[in-house]
Amino acid sequence: MLERSFLIEQVIEAWQKLQANTPLVQCITNQVASNYAANVLLACGASPAMIDNPFEAQSFTHISSALSINLGTPTEQQMQAMQISAQTAQQYQKPWVLDPVGYSSVLKWRSDMVDVLLQYHPTVIRGNASEISTLAGNQSSSKGVDSTLSSDAVYAQAQNLLQHCDCVAISGASDYILSDEIRQVIKINGGSALQPKVTATGCALGALIAAYCSVTSPMLACVTAHVHFAIAGQLAAERAPLIGQFSVAFMDELFSLNAEKIVQYADIELLG
C-alpha cells in the first residue's frame, strides 16, 4: 500500500526530473487548445511541438519523448496523423496519452477513431467524467464536450479501461487516478472552480501528463500533472479571483511551482 508521504516525495522527484530533462512532447491537439497547451508545457518545463500532419508524424514521433493525442476538433489529416503517431509510439515504446474529447454516439466520426487508437495501447487515457464513463461502456450524456457527470460518480466504472492502458485519469472538482501499478485509487483535491472557465485547461493537462510520462511511471505522471494543476489553480484563484486575471495567474503559478509548494499544498487521498 502506498503511503501519502512517500507519494509526495515521488511527486517532487518527478517534477524535478521534468525541469532537468525538458522533454520534447509531440501534441496532436485541437485548434482551440494548441496555443494554450504549448504555453502550459513551456511554463511547466517541457518543450512542445505541435506536429499534426501525416507527412511528418512517423519521423517526429520517433524522436519525441512523449506523444499527446486530443480529439477536440479533428481534421482528416489530423486523424491520419493520430493513427500513424500512435502506431509509431507503440512500436518504439514512447509513452502517449489519449484524450477522447467528446467521445459519444453523437460525435461518431471521432469516437470511431478513438476505438481504433485503443489498439495501440495508450499509456494513459485522460478525460472528463462523461467521456470516461461513455468510453468505459456506460450510457452517459454530455453537453458538447463538457461533462454532465461528476468525477466521483465515475471512477469505479473506469476500472475496465485498464485493459487498454496503464493508467486512467479522470478530471473534475476532484481528480481520480486509476493504475495497474497499484490497487488503490488516488484522489487529488484542490484547484479552482475557475479552471473549467478557461478554454483548453483539460486539453493542456493531457499534454502535461504526456510530458511527465517521459520522466516517470504512468501512475506518478498522472498524479504529478494533476497536483501541478491543482496547486496552480488554487494559488492563482487566491490572488486573482476574476476570470481574465486568473488565466494569467494560473500560467504564472504553473511556472513557479517548487518542492516547498508541493509539500504545503498537495492534497492527495489514497482510497482503498
- The binding site consists of 50, 126, 171, 200
Distances (CA, A) of 226 to 39, 44, 92, 260: 17, 12, 26, 17
Numbered residues of the known binding site for ATP: 126, 171
Helices 218-239 and 4-21, packing angle to 10 deg: 90
Pairing of strands 175-179, 167-171: antiparallel
In 3D space, the residue among 36, 30, 95, 22 whose CA is nearest the CA of residue 61 turns out to be: 95
User: Closest by alpha carbon to 126, among 218, 17, 9?
Assistant: 218
Sequence-separated (6 or more) residues with CB below 8 Å from residue 162: 168, 178, 179, 180
- Residue 212: how many CB atoms within 10 A of its CB? 32
d(CA 143, CA 265): 32
Residues within the annotated binding site for substrate? 50, 200
Nearest residue to 74 via CA among 15, 38, 117, 40:
117
